[in-house]
Amino acid sequence: MPIAPLKPAASPKPSKAKPDLSGVENLIRAMLKKHRTPFMLIRRSVLERQLQRFRKCLPEVTPYYAIKANPHPKIIKTFIKLGAGFDVASAWEMRQVLSLGGSRGKIIFANTVKSSEDIISARRRKVRMMTFDSEPELYKIAEHYPGAHVLLRIKVVNEGSVVNLSLKFGADPEIAHLMLRKARALGLVPTGISFHVGSQSTNVENYLQALEISANIFNEAKEHDVPLKIIDIGGGFPIQHFDNEIGVNFERMAVQIRKQIRLLFDKKLQFMAEPGRFLVGPAGILVTQVIGRTFRNNKNYYYLNDGIYGDFSGMVFDHCKYEFKTLRRGQTFLSALAGPTCDSFDTLSLDVEIPELYVGDVVYVKNIGAYSSASAVANFNGFPPAKIVMV
């Protein structure tokens, strides 16, 4: 079970490391006085900053927050107040957004394989914009939601993305115009094209190629009297997980994406995107504590009160790597970190460089607001996920 907050043990050596100038460590120390670990801090100011950053860099593109990244009610409420749209993948996510005050006109049901029950739920709630990528899905939508506005998701290159999202979804672009005509013949309203270049994509060429393919589809659809008006460029926008990580530059990517949009498309078209990680990832700070220590395989071995089955689940499901930090200063040693469960798979790192730690010491991770608590297993081995605290 989570342990009560403990003050970090007195350091045996004077501090040699530079203080955390961002104020993160001061925030953690303050929160340790109020909350038991593990807890996840979500900074509202960072949510606002990331949304502003997206809008500034891609002003032509309307952001629809992908709530699968982190569906916590306070996060959703924050983005509702800021005027964002929402990407939902199920009736549950749809109800979550609407119950918190979201507008049905700012929701896209962006799952290309929906249950009949969920389509009916969308019809009852008048959420009419949704995606598809197959003919059987069109028949299902037409049966349960006549007149729905549909966007065809196409298969695009996911080169260099951490998670490939074209393995499971996306129609071949060559048959796009046939699929769109079929949608219209079934009484649906073919509205546009959507694509996803993969999660944590640092390769801007994925976006540029996808936009070029989409432009060709738009032109072909127009020739067949199926005018389209929306392009959904998906998500996948990258963030830094490490303080000194290189190769991640959203601003530079956005410049090239905007240039491609202006080059290929009419100004009257609507553009939207489904950022998840980009909006909520940098806002999260996971705070854990050491609950045990030993010496194994010639290194210090520390056990934390959160692990792979909890808020570090992104290491498995999202293929994510995190930067482990401590409040302790001093000489660092090659060490191992593990979670609290009785499973050897619950190992976080076998080669992290950190100072020597003691029971009660804090280990924290920044940039972990997305795909962490959202995919955590509830109470595996009796250990609950971290409490989310909005600050």
Which residues participate in catalysis according to the annotation? 342
Q: How large is the C-alpha radius of gyration of the chain?
A: 23
Count other C-beta atoms under 10 Å from residue 321's C-beta: 12
Distance CA 166, CA 320 (A): 19
CA 27 to chain centroid: 24
Distance CA 244, CA 318 (A): 21
- CA–CA distance from 112 to each of 72, 129, 155 (Å)? 24, 12, 12
Which residues are 271's β-sheet partners? 61, 231
Cα separation of the two ends of the chain? 24
Q: Locate all alpha helices (DSSP H) within 152-246, ordered by sequence.
A: 176-185, 204-223
User: What SS3 class is residue 284?
Assistant: strand
- CA–CA distance from 98 to each of 6, 123, 125, 141, 227 (Å)? 40, 14, 9, 21, 30
Which residues fall within 8 angstroms of residue 8, CB to CB, at 6 or more apart?
A: 327, 328, 360, 361, 362
DSSP structure string for 117-151: HHHHHHHHTT--EEEE-SHHHHHHHHHHSTT-EEE
